[in-house]
Amino acid sequence: MALEKENRSLQAQIKQILRDEINNGTWRQGAKLPPEPSLVRRFGVSRITVSQALRDLSAEGLVVRRQGKGTFVSASPHGWTNLGALLQRMPMQHGENLEHSVNRVECLHPTTDIALDLQLAEGEQTWCFTRIKLVDGKPAQWEQAHIPETLVAVHPAQVGVDDWGRFFFIEILQRLTGLEARRCRAFLQGAVLSPALAEAMGEVAGKPTIEVTRLWHGELGQPVLLTRSVLRPDGTRYYVDLPELPRKGVGEE
């Protein structure tokens, strides 16, 4: 597989490809990744580049490297979440251990802050999707999405979907409106569980949590989707791939 000629290093590209394959289920929990020589042939790079990419994945908790045996997908590969991917692609955990205990769809008047973010007219409603993700039978994440009612071209009940929990929110947006989410501004903050959320997630009210809000814009720059996720902080960790620093020119200090 040929890598792209872009600003990111070959190491970063290989790491992202393998990370995506782990997240989408190509490599299951406990599966052994191909040996380094095979990855070298696949990507057409040096062995040290492949080794560095695997080392980074190991540091992120996605894989476990066992001396003399190879590299294996971690038993809990989703313990770490790529913050960049989270904010841009809203990834969903995969695997047979993922369920949704709540999958509610309703048309309602949103709160004032949501109406302002989506630039809604007074009295305008949104289609609201609410769900809770269960991992191994335990609540792991509460999610909610709002789509302006005026953008929805087809009633959700007419789409023929029984379980909206199977779709990314940006996919739901496209199915109902025909619009694509093109640009996102995301906010990550610490918070405490409200009594209602604590009850829904089987937790204690006031417990610290992590809240992620994303405001998606369409092709013309208009806000088309607002999502909010509340995650268990004891089972979620984030990392960010920072851009490489530019090389200093000759004579620069």
Answer whether residue 64 is part of any domain. yes
| Residues 201-251: tens digit of each pLDDT | 888 899 888 898 999 999 888 999 999 999 876 666 665 666 666 666 555
Weakest mean pLDDT among 68-72, 78-82, 135-139? 78-82
Weakest mean pLDDT among 44-53, 74-83, 100-109, 139-148? 74-83
Weakest mean pLDDT among 55-69, 91-105, 189-203? 91-105
Answer whether residue 144 is part of any domain. yes
Answer whether residue 250 is part of any domain. no
Q: Average pLDDT for residues 118-130, to the nearest whole number?
A: 94
Clarify whether residues 145 and 36 are in a common domain. Answer: no
Q: What is the CATH number of the domain that holds 15?
A: 1.10.10.10
Is there a contact between 118 and 126 (Cβ–Cβ < 8 Å)?
yes
Answer whether residue 171 is part of any domain. yes
Q: Give the model's pLDDT for residue 105.
A: 93
pLDDT at 104 exceeding the cut of 80: yes
Domain span at residue 48 reads: 10-75
**Structure tokens given for 237:** 């960790």
Q: Give the model's pLDDT for residue 56.
A: 80
Q: What is the CATH number of the domain that holds 118?
A: 3.40.1410.10
Q: Which residues of 25-63 are buried (b: 16+ CB within 10 A; e: fewer)?
A: eebebeeebeebeebbeebebeeebbbbbbebbeebebb
Answer whether residue 243 is part of any domain. no
| Residues 154-206: tens digit of each pLDDT | 899 888 877 787 788 888 999 999 998 888 888 888 889 999 988 888 888 99
Q: At what angle do helices 10-23 and 47-59 cross, to 10 degrees?
A: 50
Q: What is the pTM of this model?
A: 0.60
Q: 220: helix, coil or strand?
A: coil
Domain count across the chain: 2
Instruction: Report the distance separating Cα 185 and Cα 163, nearest Å.
Output: 27
Look at residues 75, 93, 110 and tell me which one is the last residue of a structural domain. 75
Look at residues 29, 60, 75 and tell me which one is the last residue of a structural domain. 75
Is there a contact between 242 and 84 (Cβ–Cβ < 8 Å)?
no
CA 250 to chain centroid = 41
Clarify whether residues 64 and 97 are in a common domain. Answer: no
Answer whether residue 245 is part of any domain. no
Q: Average pLDDT for residues 39-53, to the nearest whole number?
A: 90
Q: Give the model's pLDDT for residue 166.
A: 77
**Structure tokens given for 236:** 């979620």
Q: Give the model's pLDDT for residue 77.
A: 54
Clarify whether residues 62 and 114 are in a common domain. Answer: no
Look at residues 42, 75, 108 and tell me which one is the last residue of a structural domain. 75
The mean of the pLDDT values for the chain is 81
As beta bridge partners, residue 230 has 142, 211
Which residue in the block uniquely carries the two structure tokens 């109406």? 115
Clarify whether residues 218 and 126 are in a common domain. Answer: yes
Clarify whether residues 108 and 168 are in a common domain. Answer: yes
What lies within 8 Å, CB to CB, of 247 at 6+ separation is none
